[in-house]
Amino acid sequence: MNKVELKMNQVVVSFRKDRALNGITLTMEPGIYGLIGENGAGKTTLFRSTLEVQSYKGVITKNGISSIGYVPQHFDCLKRLTVGETMKYFCSLKNISHSQRREDIERVLTIVNLTEERDKLIKNLSGGMLRRVGIAQALLGEPQLLIMDEPTVGLDPAERVNFRNIIKKIKGDRIVWISSHEIGELEQMCDRFMLMKQGSLVCMGDLETLYQEYETDNIETLYFKAMGKEIC
């Protein structure tokens, strides 16, 4: 089995005269990565470039990555379908063989604790359950890279705990890449952190290394220092 690795070298995205990504260079290996930055920093554009749905200049190399799972910030699907039917629909989109579908659907519904809701209509689910359906579809096919764009937006405290538990279950020999404004949430889940500002990668590393670099022991202070902001 090939080593799982995502590499970027001088990735640039421009919209007319404005640069959304300004020469991103990085290497990611299996682990849980938190992506932090203000609105407009380029986080979603970075994800879209990785997914090859956004044109870019530079090189993105995906070693050992044959499948990518994606959880968009606003997950939407056919509300007249049940949870189980929704999983079958995404299996067909991902070309998962009929012989593997039942086992794979059971696996992902177990991970997100939705096995008892498989016959419920999507339109009748709570926001937290719908978010878990979004995670389940992304896990179909055992992706080596899982990208999650603001996955905890709108979740109540109980669902946030559920989300953290799901992340613990799915970590392993894959890259899990999560963007969020909830810095405290990311601190509890992630192995490594990436901070973006105005399309550039400001810093990347584990918290211990970043704390030493920015002379702090607090993730909020780290964020302010890395972003060049004053603390009130």
DSSP 121: B
CA–CA gap between residue 145 and residue 218 (Å, rounded): 29
Q: What is the average pLDDT across 1-23? A: 92
Fold of domain 67-143:
Rossmann fold (3.40.50)
Residue 74 is predicted with a pLDDT of 83
Of 50, 112, 39, 110, the C-alpha closest to 75 is 112
This prediction's pTM: 0.93
pLDDT digits (tens, 9 = 90+) for 42-101: 999 999 999 999 999 999 999 999 999 999 988 877 889 999 999 999 999 999 999 999
Asked whether the predicted pLDDT for residue 184 surpasses 90, the reply is no
Min mean pLDDT across 155-164, 170-179, 198-207 is at 155-164
Q: Is the distance from CB of 21 to CB of 11 less than 8 angstroms?
A: yes
Give me 24's structure tokens: 């991103």
Residue 1 has a pLDDT of 59
Mean pLDDT of 176-205: 94
pLDDT in tens, 208-228: 999 999 999 989 999 999 988
User: Above 90 in pLDDT, residue 11?
Assistant: yes
If one counts every other C-beta atom within 10 angstroms of the C-beta of residue 4, the result is: 19
Q: Which of 135, 156, 165 is nearest to 147 (CA)?
A: 135
Identify the pLDDT of residue 155. Answer: 84
Alpha-helical (H) ranges within the chain are: 43-50, 83-93, 98-111, 127-139, 157-170, 183-189, 207-214, 219-227
pLDDT tens digit sequence for 169-179: 888 889 999 99
CA 161 from centroid of its chain's CA atoms: 17
Strand-pair partners of 215: none
Report the mean per-residue pLDDT for the chain.
93
Task: Please tell me which residue, 130 or 155, carries the higher pLDDT value.
Answer: 130
Q: Which of 15-19, 62-66, 153-157, 186-190 has the highest mean pLDDT?
A: 62-66
Confidence of residue 232 (pLDDT cuts 50, 70, 90): low
Could you give the angle at which helices 83-93 and 127-139 cross, rounded to 10 degrees?
30
Note whether 144 and 67 are within 8 A (CB): yes
Residues 6+ apart with CB under 8 A from 11: 21, 23, 24, 25, 46, 49, 56, 57, 58, 59, 60
Residue-range domain boundaries for the chain? 1-11+25-54+159-231, 67-143
The pLDDT assigned to 142 comes to 95
Helices 98-111 + 127-139 axis angle, to 10 = 140
Cα 91-92-98 angle, rounded to 5 deg: 75
The residue that leads in pLDDT, 17 or 91, is 91
**How far apart (Å, rounded) are the C-alpha atoms in residues 204 and 195?**
7
